[in-house]
Structure 1
Amino acid sequence: MFEFFGTIGGLIMTPLYYVVSAVMLAWHKVFSLFLDPNGGLSWLLSIVGLTLVIRAALIPLFVKQIKSSRNMALLQPQVRELQKKYKHDRERLAQETMKLYKEAGTNPFASCLPILLQMPIFFALFRMIDQAAKKGTAHGFLTEDLADQFGQSRLFGDAGTNEGIPISGTFLSGDGTAVMILAAVLVVAMTATTFLTQRQLMAKNMPPEALTGPYAQQQKMLLYVLPVVFAVGGVAFPIGVLMYWTTSNLWTMSQQFYVIRRNPAPGTPAAKAKAERDAEKAKRKGVSTGDVSLEKSAGGTAVVDDEAEAPRPRVQPQRQTKAQRSKQQGGGPRPTGGAKSVPTKSKKKR
C-alpha cells in the first residue's frame, strides 16, 4: 500500500521537480556570473528568483482572488437576508446562497487558489533541498554534482570547511546558533507577513456591513490561524524554503496593496482614501471637483455640493428683424414710402 502511494506521489511530483529545477538553474547561471556558484548566496537568490517567476505566473489567479473576495464582502447583506429567510432550511439556504454567488459571478473557493497551487511547488522545493542535503539525491534537471553543491551550499562560509549557515539547515536541526537565529528571523518574517496581508484586506477593503456574520468570522479565523500554522510548522522548514515563503508573502502583500489602492471596493476605507487622493490631485491640476462630493468616487451616491457654482447654460443668439434691431437702438420704427414724419402741434383752445 505504501509503495503504491509512493509511486503515485512520485508521478505527481516528478513534473514539478523539472519545473522547479529548470527555473532555479536558469537563475543560478545568471547569479554565477558575479557570485560564487558553489556559495549559498547564489543558490538562495536562485530560490528568490524561482519565487518571483511562480508569483508572476499566478498574477491572473491573484486578480481573480481579489475580485472574488471583494464580491463576497459586498454580497454579505444579501447573504444575511437569505439566512433570515431560510434559517430553518439549511439545504435551501445553501442552494440559494450558491445561486446568489453564481449570479454575481463570484466563487467562494477562488480566494484559496493561489495558496493551493503554491503548495505543490513548496513541497517539491522542500524535498529537493532536504534530499540533496542528506543523500545527495538529484531531482529534475539537477545532476548529482549540482544536487550535492545545492544541498551543501552555505551562507557566509565555505561548504568544504563546514563554515557558515547551510541553506538546508532548520531551527531544529542543531547546526549551530547562527542557523537557529536566521531560521527564527525568517519564521517571524513569514508569520508577520502572513498576518499583515490578511489584516490589510480586512482593514482597508471590506465595507462595514461585511465585518459581521459568517464571512467576517471566516476572515478573522484566517487572520489568526494561518500565522500560527506557519509559525509552528516553520521551525521544521529549511532556510531555503523559509526564504521562498517569505518572499512569496512579500509579493502578495505588495500586490494586494497596489490592487486595493487602485481599485478599492465601494464603501470601504480604501475607497474613501482613493477619493481624497483623486480630489487632491484634481485640485493641484486646477480641475473643479466641487459639484460632486467624495462619496461618488468612493462608490457611494453622488451628493450635490451647494457651495459649488453650477455651470451656466449657453444661450444661442436669436435672429432679429431689422425693425426689432432698430427698436432696441431707440430709433423706433421708420415710416414706409420715404416721407419724413413731421410732429403736429396741438391747437390751443381759446
Structure 2
Amino acid sequence: MFEFFGDVGGAIMAPLYFITSVILSGFHNLFGGIFGDDSGAAWALSIIGLTLVIRAALIPLFVKQIKSSRNMQLLQPKLKELRDKYGHDRERFAQEQMKLFKDTGTNPLASCLPLILQMPIFLSLFRLIDRAAHGETRGVLSQDQVDSLAQAKIFGARIADTFTGAEGESATAVRVLAGLLVIAMTATTFLTQRQLMTKNMPPDALKGQYAQQQKMLLYILPLVFAIGGIAFPIGVIIYWTTSNLWTMGQQFYVIRRNPAPGTPAAKAKEERDAHKRARKGLPEPESTGTTTTAVAAPSEAERRRQQPKKQSREQRKKGKGAPPRGSGRPAGGKPR
C-alpha cells in the first residue's frame, strides 16, 4: 500500500522536478560562468532566479488575489447585515452569502491561490536540494551538478544543510546563517500580511469575521514558517525569503497605485495627487462630496452621430438641383 502511494506521489512530483530543475540548471549555467560552477554564489543566485521566474508567472493570479481580497473587504458591511438577518439560520445565511459572492464576482479562495500554487514548487525544490545533499539526482540535473549543489557554500555554510542537521566544522556557520534567514523569512511573512491590513483595509472590514481570519493568519503563518524553517535547507529558505520580498514589493506597488476606497492608502493617494496638482499649478477637480466629477469626452458613438451622414451618388445628384430651404423655388423651376 505504501509503495503504491509512493509511486503515485513520485508520478505527480516528476513534472515539478523537471520544471524546477530546468530553470535552476539554466540559471546555474549563466551564473556558473561568472562565479564558477561550484561556487555557492552561483547556486544561491540560481535559486533567486528560479523564484523570480515562478513569481512572474503567478502575476495574473496575484491580480485576481488582490481583486478578491478587495471585494471581500468591501463586502464586509453587507455580510454583517446578512449575519444579523440570518444568523439564526446557518443554511439560509450560507445560501445568501454564496449568492452575494456570485453576484459580485468574488471568490473567497482566490486570496490563497498564489500560496497554494507555490507550495508544489516549494516542495519540489525542497526535495531536490535535500536529495542532492545525499547525492541523488532529480529532474534534469546531472550527477556533477548534484555533487556541486551538495557541496556549494555561501558565507561558510553549505546551501544543502539545515539548522537542525548541521554537523562538523561548519555547523556554527550553518546555524547562524540558517537562523538569520529563518528570522528574515518570518519577518517578511508578517510584514507582508500586516501591510495589507493596515494600509488597504477600510475600517468596516477590520471588524468582521474576515478581519478576524486575517488577524489569525497574521500571527499563525509566521509562527508556522519559523517552526518549520529550522528543518528547511538554506537554499529553500533563500527561495521563500525572496518570494516574500517580491510579494511585499508587488503589494506595495498595487496598494500605492490602486488602493481600496476608504482606506489609509486611498487617503494617502489623494494627498499625493493634491500635492502633485499644486506643484504643477493645476486647479482642484470639482467635487460632489465624496466623488470627483469631470466632463467626459464624447464616446465614439456620439462622435458618429455628430458627423454629417454620408450620401449616395444619386442623393448627391438630386441635392444639386434642390433649392435652399425657404427660397420658394422648386427644383429646376423658375422663381415664383
1:233 to 2:225 alignment: no
Rounded Cα–Cα distance in structure 2 between residues aligned with 1:123 and 1:31: 24
Question: Distance in 1 between the 2:60 and 2:115 partners?
Answer: 13
Structure 1 residue matching 2:88: 3-state secondary structure: coil
Map 1:182-221 onto structure 2 (within 5 A): 182-221=177-216
Counterpart of 2:211, as a letter, is A
CA deviation vs aligned residue, 1:40-67 (integer Å, no higher than 9, x gap) = 1101110000000000000000011011
d(CA) in 1 for partners of 2:149 and 2:5? 28
1:181 alignment partner in structure 2:
176
| CA displacement, residues 170-220 of structure 1 (integer Å, 9 cap, x when unaligned) | 111133111101001000000000000000000000000111121110000
1:146 alignment partner in structure 2: 145
Unmatched runs of 5 consecutive residues or more in structure 1 = 157-163, 304-350
Structure-to-structure mapping, 1:49-88, within 5 angstroms:
49-88=49-88
Q: Is the Cα–Cα contact under 8 Å of residues 178 and 230 in structure 2 kept in the other structure?
A: yes
Deviations 1:79-107 (A, max 9, x none): 00000111111011111101101111110
Q: Distance in 2 between matches of 1:11 and 1:22?
A: 17
Residue aligning to 1:171? 163
TM-score normalised by length of structure 2: 0.84
State the secondary structure of the residue aligned to 1:109. Answer: helix
AA paired with 1:237?
A: F
Matched to 1:128, the amino acid is L
Identical-pair percentage: 65
Deviations 1:306-346 (A, max 9, x none): xxxxxxxxxxxxxxxxxxxxxxxxxxxxxxxxxxxxxxxxx
Give the RMSD, CA atoms, in angstroms.
Answer: 1.3
2:164–2:231: 8 Å Cα contact kept in structure 1?
Answer: yes
Per-residue deviation, 1:144: 1.5
The reply on whether 1:277 has 2:272 as its aligned counterpart is: yes
Which residue identity lines up with residue 281 of structure 2 in the other structure?
G
- Segments of structure 2 that go 5 or more residues without pairing to the other structure are 294-336
Equivalent residue for 2:312? none
State the alpha-carbon separation in 2 of the partners of residues 112 and 123 from structure 1: 17
> C-alpha deviations, 1:139-194, integer Å up to 9, x for none?
111111211111221124xxxxxxx3100111111331111010010000000000
Q: Is 283-292 or 245-254 further displaced after alignment?
A: 283-292
Q: 2:286·2:292 contact (CA, 8 Å) conserved in 1?
A: no
**1:10 matches 2:10:** yes
Amino acid of the structure 2 residue aligned with 1:264: P
Find the aligned partners of 1:116 and 1:234 in 2 and give their Cα distance: 18
1: CA distance between counterparts of 2:206 and 2:34? 51
Q: Please tell me whether Structure 1 or Structure 2 has the larger radius of gyration of its CA atoms.
A: 1
Q: How does 1:255-266 map to 2 (within 5 A)?
A: 255-266=250-261
Residues in 2 aligned to 1:81 and 1:290: alpha-carbon distance in whole angstroms = 35
